[in-house]
């Protein structure tokens, strides 16, 4: 019933859809940076969408399975292999006892998600299994994986005939609805907010028309951007107020920061814009050094796009009923 971490990878931590309902206590939401890929991995492994998955970053871990399991990998293309043989993203995969899952070269994206059917045995803290790395709690011992960690499956993969199961899973046709993919975009969509008019007109123009580069100082808390600096009309200090996933805040140095999954719940810097939720996964898959541009979008359109993605998840969830039937044996 266990999995041994042979190599931890660059930064591998368990994440789910985050801690909802505790922001008024200052507890960051956290959760998967690319919630789209996280949910895909779960659905493909026959799980509910909020089961914890392993978020792996750039260079993946090497894991030895000491018992059989069904997994699915989604998100970044990090050349996954089982016993040295390439395996695809976006498919349920049957893993035998003794198999070794490893990752190789990155060909696209930054973060991939590994879901285990039935989930990994992790404590639920504040309604979530997400790891809050900065706070040192949640997930696996409140930290990223290390070599020799042992993960336990919550429920073993029952059924004696793994070959038959693998064959039957392989025969299920899986089509990913288009809104669940990441179409390449020249610019990320963002909405102006209550503070936008506090910035100089030129700064607002610069933000929406010039190119930014993701700084090496970018992590789960936020992405720092290098490019034209942004200035306020006057340097009146603002009162701290709540932040959102995708708020673009601008500290006094004028360099924008896109707030990501582990952002602080509140902040006192002016926010020039808020990224459309539908485009957050694209940012989460960007590497330091990548170029990023922004274009304005209306709130209504952003919400319609968000809704389209939700409907596509609904469709996929229904289409994957045969996978769940096979894995749950009913």
Partner 1 sequence: MPRVNDAVPQGWTVVPQGDRALLLVFGDGIAVEVGRRCAAAAAALRQAAIPGVTDVVPAFNSVAVHYQPRPSCSGAAFRQLADEIESVLACTLDARQAPAAGRQIEIPVCYGGQFGPDLDEVAAHCKLDAADVIRLHSGQSAYVFMLGFAPGAPYIGVHDKRLAIGRRPTPRTAVPAGSVAIANLQTMIYPNVSPGGWHIIGATPSILFDPAKTPSTLLAPGDTVRFVPVSSDEYLVLKQEQEREQA
Q: What is the contact surface with partner 1 in residues (CB under 8 A)?
A: 20-29, 125-126, 135, 137-138, 191, 193-194, 237-242, 244-247, 264-267, 271, 274-277, 299-300, 302-304, 306-307, 310-311
Q: What whole-number distance in Å separates Cα of residue 86 and Cα of residue 276?
A: 35
The least CB distance from residue 19 to partner 1, in Å, is 9
The least CB distance from residue 192 to partner 1, in Å, is 9
Residue 110 CB burial class (10 angstroms; 0-12, 13-18, ≥19): buried
The least CB distance from residue 232 to partner 1, in Å, is 15
- Which of 18/92 has CB closer to partner 1? 18
The least CB distance from residue 139 to partner 1, in Å, is 11
- Which of 231/306 has CB closer to partner 1? 306
Tokens of 214: 């993701």
The least CB distance from residue 312 to partner 1, in Å, is 12
- Which of 241/253 has CB closer to partner 1? 241
The least CB distance from residue 95 to partner 1, in Å, is 32
- Which of 26/160 has CB closer to partner 1? 26
Q: What whole-number distance in Å separates Cα of residue 156 and Cα of residue 101?
A: 18
The least CB distance from residue 225 to partner 1, in Å, is 17
- Which of 153/232 has CB closer to partner 1? 232
- Which of 155/240 has CB closer to partner 1? 240
- Which of 178/242 has CB closer to partner 1? 242
């Amino acid at each position: 019933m266990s999995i041994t971490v042979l190599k931890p990878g660059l930064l591998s931590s368990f994440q789910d859809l985050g801690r909802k309902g505790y922001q008024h206590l200052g507890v960051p939401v956290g959760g998967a940076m690319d919630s789209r890929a996280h949910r895909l991995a779960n659905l493909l492994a026959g799980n509910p969408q909020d089961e914890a998955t392993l978020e792996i970053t750039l260079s993946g871990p090497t894991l030895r399975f000491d018992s059989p399991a069904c997994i699915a990998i989604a998100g970044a293309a990090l050349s996954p292999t089982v016993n040295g043989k390439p395996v695809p993203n976006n498919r349920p995969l049957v893993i035998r006892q003794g198999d070794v899952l490893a990752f190789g070269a990155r060909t696209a994206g930054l973060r991939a998600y590994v879901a285990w059917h039935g989930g990994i045995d992790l404590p639920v803290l504040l309604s979530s299994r997400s790891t809050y790395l900065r706070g040192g709690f949640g997930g696996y011992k409140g930290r990223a994986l290390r070599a020799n960690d042992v993960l336990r499956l919550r429920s073993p993969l029952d059924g004696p005939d793994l070959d038959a199961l693998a064959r039957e899973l392989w025969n299920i046709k899986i089509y990913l609805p288009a809104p669940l993919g990441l179409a390449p975009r020249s610019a990320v969509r963002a909405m102006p907010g209550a503070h936008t008019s506090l910035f100089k007109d030129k700064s607002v123009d610069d933000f929406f028309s010039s190119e930014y580069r993701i700084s090496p100082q970018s992590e789960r808390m936020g992405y720092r951007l290098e490019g034209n600096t942004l200035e306020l009309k006057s340097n009146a200090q603002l009162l701290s107020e709540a932040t959102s996933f995708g708020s673009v805040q601008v500290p006094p140095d004028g360099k924008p920061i896109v707030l990501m999954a582990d952002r602080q719940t509140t902040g006192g810097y002016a926010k020039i814009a808020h990224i459309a939720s539908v485009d957050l996964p694209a940012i989460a898959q960007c590497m330091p050094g990548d170029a990023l541009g922004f274009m304005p979008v209306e709130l209504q359109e952003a919400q319609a796009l968000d809704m389209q993605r939700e409907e596509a998840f609904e469709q996929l969830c229904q289409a994957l009923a045969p996978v769940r039937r096979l894995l749950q044996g009913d």
